[in-house]
Structure 1
Amino acid sequence: MSVILEKIQHLNELVLNGKALEAFDHYYHDDVVMQENETTPTTGKEANRLREEAFFAAITEFRSATPLKIITGDNTSMVQWHYDYTHKDWGVRNYTQVSVQEWKDGKIIKEQFFYGN
């Protein structure tokens, strides 16, 4: 099993156990760049942690998150997730998303999320 596969599986386990921010703190690089679809990216660990905190604080009902597929390559991982939750601003969200991660120094340096509306 590759090191990246082990890390992404552990990260996913943390997310599934309600420890997404712990996973973020452990597995994301200080210079991480995160981007939703083609929107303007957010740069830096501190700015992205604040974005993550705001996202989780806005979840009013969480029903499920399921990793469907995991693919790894050279310093790259991709996870297809299915999410089902209610967000205070966006309402009911039930969708599939692909998260593409680039790794550097054993941590995620770039992550982009692809999903439909």
Structure 2
Amino acid sequence: MTTELQPTTELKAIFADIQQLIAQGQVMQIFEKYYGDDVVMQENEAPATVGKVANRAREEAFFANLVEFRAAELKNVAFGENVIISEWFLDYTHAEWGKRTYYQVSVQQWKDGKVVHERFYYGA
């Protein structure tokens, strides 16, 4: 079985749109527009969350618990065949976790214009 490659130029255009939506504070719109129905998302070594419904609930719970959001700055991004790797500086206060300031790397696997797998790497 062969997988059709997502052209890097297409991924760059999608990522530019994602950047605009982040700047407008429309993070959940990114999720609805660019994440597949069977998406698998994973934080570090934690068990993966499978499916758009389960991941939507996880994302909504995260944002509902944000007390203050100070920064989400893109530091680096790389594009490959069906993959976007991005490094972010994040700074926020969460109701359950307190003040969080850290760097995070996101590795996204893409298929047919949708994220099918995303894993986040960051210090504990």
TM-score, normalising length: structure 2: 0.91
Q: 1:92-103 alignment to 2 at 5 Å? A: 92-103=99-110
CA distance in 2, matches of 1:47, 1:35: 12
Which residues of 2 match residues 5-84 of structure 1 at below 5 A?
Answer: 5-84=12-91
**How many angstroms apart in 2 are the aligned matches of 1:36 and 1:17?**
25
User: 4+ residue runs of structure 1 moved beyond 4 angstroms?
Assistant: none
Sequence identity, in percent? 48
Which residue among 67, 92, 95 is the counterpart of 1:88?
95
- For the pair shown, the structure with the greater C-alpha radius of gyration is 2
**Match in the other structure for 2:119:** 112
- Give TM-score scaled by structure 1 length: 0.96
SS of match in other structure, 1:4: helix
Q: 2:9 aligns with which of 2, 13, 20?
A: 2
Offset, 1:13: 2.3
Give how far 1:99 is off.
Answer: 0.4
The root-mean-square deviation of aligned C-alpha atoms, in Å, is 1.0
Q: Distance in 2 between matches of 1:15 and 1:44?
A: 22
Tell me the distance in 2 between the aligned counterparts of 1:105 and 1:76.
12
Aligned pair count reads 117
What is the deviation of 1:12? 2.7
